[in-house]
Amino acid sequence: MATRNRQHLMVVPGDGIGREVTAQAARVLEWFTKHRGLDCEISHDDRFGAEYWHKSGEFLRPGLVEDMIKADAVLFGAVGGAGDNLHMPQDIRRKYGLPAVRKQMGVFANLRPIKPIPALASDSPLRPEITKGVDIMVVRELVGGIYFGQPRGIETLPDGQRRGVNTQVYTTSEILRIAEVAFELARKRRRKVTSVDKANVMESGQLWREEVQAFRDKNYPDIELNHMYVDNCAMQVVRDPRQFDVLLSDNIFGDILSDCASVITGSLGMLPSASIGVHEASGKRTALYEPVHGSAPDIAGQNKANPLASILSLGLALRHSLGREADGDLLDAAVADVLARKERTADIAAPGVAPISTSGMGDAVIAALGRLAG
Ligand code: IPM
Ligand code: MG
């Protein structure tokens, strides 16, 4: 057998439940290295986040982001603290927080699959006939737009009032590289892209719409493209989510729409995401995998949190970074199997069935992998 280059997955747990949930995802990855011939080294670095800032005065250790860029994939937990950590100054947060790390890593494409698991259908506030069969891929631009546009800031005016400014700005190249990700994904799916903007009010939205349409006409005539204003889209996502295949949006609209769409799956604790950078000549892409949920300080350290969003984020890493599509499928099947057996953490517990712990969920997924792999 030809020798392959050993791959490297870096675990950066961050704050709060990030530690507990990534620990379970790392165990699951170890299972794949032991039982499925996956040649992947796993390293951990917890010198990142609000807790580290309180201990060391630094938000992240020097060189950490460079190492994250070098890794084949990074499994990220969550960032943000509670209690005294809440005093973390906004400027520190802005300078070193998650958006800044994403920007430094150049991970411009954020993929958020929204695919409800049938066993959890009754956990969604939406009726099962609305959510049944939904399969949406949110493709969110992640390192541009109003999160980063200049000018930004808060100033005091001569009359003593204060003025806060952020700028929504996109260039052709920023729009086209994210549109390309959406169209390429659509080709492997149901060949439909819905592009979201506010072109009726915003120039940046008008540009977004024109550029996406021209790009599609030139390069992807086989893909059906329609455009939707973001307000209408927010309604359509909960009214009739089956109409969507790939949902393409800018940074802030994607942030809002992905939380909105998460109700389709029943729990924010179930949603994984992948943030991916440009292709390098070697074929590698920088990639950060993280749950959509946050650090949940109220339940941190109690072995209660649902690790499935982190475990499913590992599933995305298997597919998008480690070249292991079949293993990604196996992991999805194992998670579905566990949930169907009503082995669930407190956030998604079945009525009358005692919830299992964070590590108990890790055990359950590993047991299911063993059963399914035969
Ligand atoms: C997300 C989060 C982040 C974002 C926050 C924590 C900065 O809401 O990943 O959706 O707005 O991108
Ligand atoms: Mg968000």
277 and 243 both lie in a single domain? no
> How many domains is the chain built from?
2
67 and 163 both lie in a single domain? no
Tokens 């997955």: give the residue. 9
Final residue belonging to a domain, choices 242, 264, 286: 264
| Residue of the CA atom closest to atom 11 of ligand 1 | 255
pLDDT in tens, 195-221: 999 999 999 999 999 999 999 999 999
- pLDDT at site 374: 81
| Residue of the CA atom closest to atom 8 of ligand 1 | 255
Final residue belonging to a domain, choices 241, 264, 287: 264
Task: Tell me how far apart the alpha carbons of residues 135 and 244 are, in angstroms, rounded to a whole number.
Answer: 8
- The answer to whether residue 123 scores a pLDDT higher than 50 is yes
The structure tokens listed for 66 are: 């460079």
Task: Tell me how far apart the alpha carbons of residues 145 and 254 are, in angstroms, rounded to a whole number.
Answer: 11
pLDDT in tens, 143-199: 999 999 999 999 999 999 999 999 999 999 999 999 999 999 999 999 999 999 999
Residue 118 belongs to some domain of the structure: no
- pLDDT at site 67: 96
Torsion of Cα atoms, 8 then 9 then 12 then 13, to 10° = -140
- The answer to whether residue 3 scores a pLDDT higher than 60 is no
Task: Tell me how far apart the alpha carbons of residues 44 and 46 are, in angstroms, rounded to a whole number.
Answer: 7
Which amino acid is located at 144 in the chain?
G
- The answer to whether residue 41 scores a pLDDT higher than 60 is yes
Compute the 3-state secondary structure of the chain and give helix, strand, coil in percent, each to the nearest 5: 50, 20, 30
Residue 172 belongs to some domain of the structure: yes
7 and 104 both lie in a single domain? yes
Residue 119 belongs to some domain of the structure: no
Task: Tell me how far apart the alpha carbons of residues 188 and 184 are, in angstroms, rounded to a whole number.
Answer: 7
Task: Tell me how far apart the alpha carbons of residues 62 and 47 are, in angstroms, rounded to a whole number.
Answer: 9
User: pLDDT exceeding 90 applies to what percent of the chain?
Assistant: 83
Residue 120 belongs to some domain of the structure: no
- The answer to whether residue 1 scores a pLDDT higher than 50 is no
Alpha-helical regions (H) of the chain: 17-35, 50-56, 64-70, 90-96, 98-105, 128-131, 172-187, 203-219, 230-239, 251-262, 308-320, 325-340, 358-373
pLDDT in tens, 319-344: 999 999 999 999 999 999 999 999 99
For ligand 2, an ion, list residues with CB under 5 A. Answer: 255
Residue 374 belongs to some domain of the structure: yes
53 and 22 both lie in a single domain? yes
Q: Tell me: cis bond preceding 307? Omega within 30 of 0 counts.
A: no
What is the CATH classification number for the domain harbouring 190? Answer: 3.40.718.10
Active-site residue flag, 231: yes
Task: Tell me how far apart the alpha carbons of residues 253 and 46 are, in angstroms, rounded to a whole number.
Answer: 31
Tell me the CA–centroid distance for residue 77 and ligand 2, in Å.
14
| Residue of the CA atom closest to atom 12 of ligand 1 | 255
Which ligand is in closest contact with the Cα of 79? Answer: 1
pLDDT in tens, 217-263: 999 999 999 999 999 999 999 999 999 999 999 999 999 999 999 99
- pLDDT at site 138: 97
Q: Is 79 within 8 Å of 15 (Cβ atoms)?
A: yes
Q: What is the CA radius of gyration of the chain?
A: 21
Which ligand is in closest contact with the Cα of 295? Answer: 1
56 and 39 both lie in a single domain? yes
**Site to substitute for ligand 1 among 59, 251, 255, most atoms within 8 A of C-beta:** 255
The structure tokens listed for 310 are: 């982190």
- pLDDT at site 83: 59
- pLDDT at site 2: 45
pLDDT in tens, 343-366: 999 999 989 999 999 999 999 999
51 and 85 both lie in a single domain? yes
Give me the domain span that covers residue 189: 125-264
192 and 224 both lie in a single domain? yes
Active-site residue flag, 255: yes
Looking at per-residue confidence, does 284 or 154 come out higher?
Answer: 154
Active-site residue flag, 170: no
Final residue belonging to a domain, choices 264, 283, 314: 264
Residue 162 belongs to some domain of the structure: yes
Buried b / exposed e over 174-189, threshold 16 CB at 10 Å, is bbeebbebbbebbeee
Q: Could you identify the atom of ligand 1 that is nearest to the CA of residue 142?
A: 12
Q: Could you identify the atom of ligand 1 that is nearest to the CA of residue 110?
A: 9
7 and 50 both lie in a single domain? yes
| Residue of the CA atom closest to atom 6 of ligand 1 | 98
Mean pLDDT of 124-136: 95
Q: Is the dihedral angle over the CA atoms 244, 250, 253, 257 positive or is it negative?
A: positive
184 and 246 both lie in a single domain? yes
Mean pLDDT of 38-44: 96
Which residue among the candidates 39, 217, 240, 259 is catalytic per the annotation?
Answer: 259
2 and 103 both lie in a single domain? yes
Q: What is the pTM of this model?
A: 0.94
Mean pLDDT of 41-62: 92
- The answer to whether residue 16 scores a pLDDT higher than 90 is yes
- The answer to whether residue 55 scores a pLDDT higher than 60 is yes
Mean pLDDT of 61-87: 85
Tell me the CA–centroid distance for residue 117 and ligand 1, in Å.
24
Window from 214-218, 264-268, 283-287 with minimum mean pLDDT: 264-268
Tokens 């005539």: give the residue. 221
Residue 74 belongs to some domain of the structure: yes
Mean pLDDT of 267-277: 91
Which ligand is in closest contact with the Cα of 110? Answer: 1
Ligand 1 neighbours, Cβ below 6 Å, are: 98-99, 255
Residue 176 belongs to some domain of the structure: yes
Round the average pLDDT of the chain to a whole number and report it.
94
69 and 199 both lie in a single domain? no
